[in-house]
Structure 1
Amino acid sequence: MFNIIKLNINEETKSYFLGFLLSLCLTLIPFILAIKKFFSHEINYIIFLICAICQIFVHFVYFLHLNFSEEKKWHLITLFFVIIIIFIVIFGSIWIMHHLNHHIYHN
């Protein structure tokens, strides 16, 4: 029984450590590119965006332990629902503010 607990702690610790290293690398790459200016601004923006998206997935997999297994299915469904709600709130607010701004300045 203690071997199972020890193995589980080691696997979980390895997961957190690997996630931390990947997050650190995905943070340092854009930082170094911004400081040293190896590429043009457009290419830097693309690399920054790719690193940010990769870091989101690293956090989901290594820190929140989200995967496509049967037991974690409801966690993923909840995450997708939250993303949809956030999308609706943010872009709905922008859309409303744009139309309010349009009606105020154009009698």
Structure 2
Amino acid sequence: MSADPRRERRQELHGYIAGLCLALILSAIPFAAVMTGALPRAGIVWTIAIAALCQVMVHFRLFLHIDLSRSHRDDLQLILFSLLIVVLMVGGTLWVLGNQRAMMG
């Protein structure tokens, strides 16, 4: 027996709206912290980092529908592996450029 398609669509729409609201709030918090200057520099960096991590989790869960259930675990592993490759490429590039700069000066 199938569930009501309109109800499923409405629930999905509510999830997208909640995700949009959370994403806007998680973008506004670091922006406000920088604009007001209420926190020291280290506090602002931590605020931006924590808000960014929370926003990644919101996007994974509410927009990409990736959670820790068995059916979505493969998707999550693929995303994490891709992230590892990107981090290695960027880190390696920065390391090589840093060494090259040190040798030039």
Q: Which runs of 5+ in 2 are unaligned?
A: none
What residue is the counterpart of 2:30 in the other structure?
30
Give CA deviations for 1:48-93 in whole Å, capped at 9, x if unaligned: 2111111111111111111011111110111011011101111111
RMSD: 1.8
Higher mean C-alpha displacement, 32-41 vs 61-70: 32-41
What residue is the counterpart of 1:59 in the other structure?
59
Q: Which amino acid aligns with 2:87?
A: F
Residues of 2 paired with 1:65 and 1:71: CA distance?
11
Residues of 2 paired with 1:7 and 1:18: CA distance?
16
| 1:34 Cα deviation from its structure 2 partner | 1.8
User: Moved runs in structure 1, 4+ residues, more than 6 A?
Assistant: none
Residues of 1 paired with 2:85 and 2:76: CA distance?
14
Larger radius of gyration: 1
Q: Size of the alignment, in residue pairs?
A: 105
| 1:20 Cα deviation from its structure 2 partner | 0.5
Q: TM-score, normalised by structure 2?
A: 0.87
Q: Which runs of 5+ in 1 are unaligned?
A: none
Q: Which amino acid aligns with 1:76?
A: L
Q: Percent identity?
A: 25
Q: Which amino acid aligns with 2:70?
A: E
